């Protein structure tokens, strides 16, 4: 196992990242915030929502397999009960870097999805947020990372 900081650095070194759960109604939606920040920081980022054709003014894909050219990493920002199906898609597509988003509460973290992914050689970050780490981090998210690390919402090792 590696530290979450090492795993985050590896995850954020990927430049083609899909974000699942991006909403057509972005107000207060964590997936949309992650999507916007990655896009603003120069990542080639792809929104995934089976019920939308466009979000944030961009094309939205109904599943990971629909993304032209594929992706190197995925942020899961859906309900936990959807995470295992997404992890199965990642395995089928050969995606080896997955981050299950969580700030407060359970977020998108699914223990079953975590186990499924890790058993298949996928690096799974099961908690926290990519915006808590450089090069995408900001002061507010870094403060949240400190506090949430104390509660276990951000794992120490992955």
Q: What is the pLDDT along the chain (158 residues), one digit of tens a residue?
A: 899 999 999 999 999 999 999 998 766 667 899 999 999 999 999 999 999 999 988 999 999 999 999 999 999 999 999 999 999 999 999 999 999 998 766 789 999 999 999 999 999 999 999 999 999 998 988 888 888 888 888 888 88
Find the Cα–Cα–Cα–Cα dihedral 92, 114, 133, 64, rounded to 10°.
Answer: 30
Instruction: Find the Cα–Cα–Cα–Cα dihedral 97, 103, 107, 109, rounded to 10°.
Output: 40
Give the domain range for residue 96: 4-151
**Cα 76–chain centre separation:** 4
Cα separation, 24 vs 10, in Å, equals 29
28 lies in some domain: yes
The answer to whether residue 158 is domain-embedded is no
Asked if residue 22 belongs to a domain, the reply is yes
Distance CA(84)–CA(104), nearest Å, equals 20
Is residue 157 included in any domain, yes or no? no
Q: Into how many domains does the chain fold? A: 1
pTM of the model: 0.93
Residue 23 lies inside a defined structural domain of this protein: yes
Q: What is the pLDDT of residues 72-116, one digit of tens each?
A: 999 999 999 999 999 999 999 999 999 999 876 678 999 999 999
Distance CA 133, CA 80 (A): 22
Tokens of 132: 């808590």
- Whether 102 maps to a domain, the answer reads yes
Distances (CA, A) of 119 to 16, 51, 59: 24, 30, 32
Instruction: Decide: helix, strand or coil at residue 64.
Output: helix
Q: Say if 33 falls within a structural domain.
A: yes
CATH code, 136:
3.40.50.720
Q: Does any domain span residue 156? A: no
């Amino acid at each position: 196992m590696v530290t979450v900081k090492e795993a985050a650095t590896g995850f954020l070194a990927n430049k083609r990242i899909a974000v699942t759960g991006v909403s057509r109604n972005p107000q207060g939606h964590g997936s949309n915030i992650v999507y916007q920040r990655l896009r603003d920081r120069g990542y080639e980022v792809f929104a995934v929502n089976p019920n939308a054709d466009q979000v944030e003014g961009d094309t939205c894909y109904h599943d990971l397999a629909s993304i032209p050219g594929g992706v190197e990493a995925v942020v899961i920002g859906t309900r936990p009960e959807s995470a295992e199906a997404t992890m199965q898609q990642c395995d089928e597509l050969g995606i080896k870097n997955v981050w299950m988003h969580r700030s407060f509460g359970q977020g998108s973290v699914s223990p079953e999805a975590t186990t499924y992914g890790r058993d298949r050689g996928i690096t799974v970050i099961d908690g926290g947020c990519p915006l808590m780490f450089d090069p995408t981090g900001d002061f507010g998210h870094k403060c949240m990372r400190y506090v949430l690390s104390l509660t276990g919402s951000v794992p120490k090792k992955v």
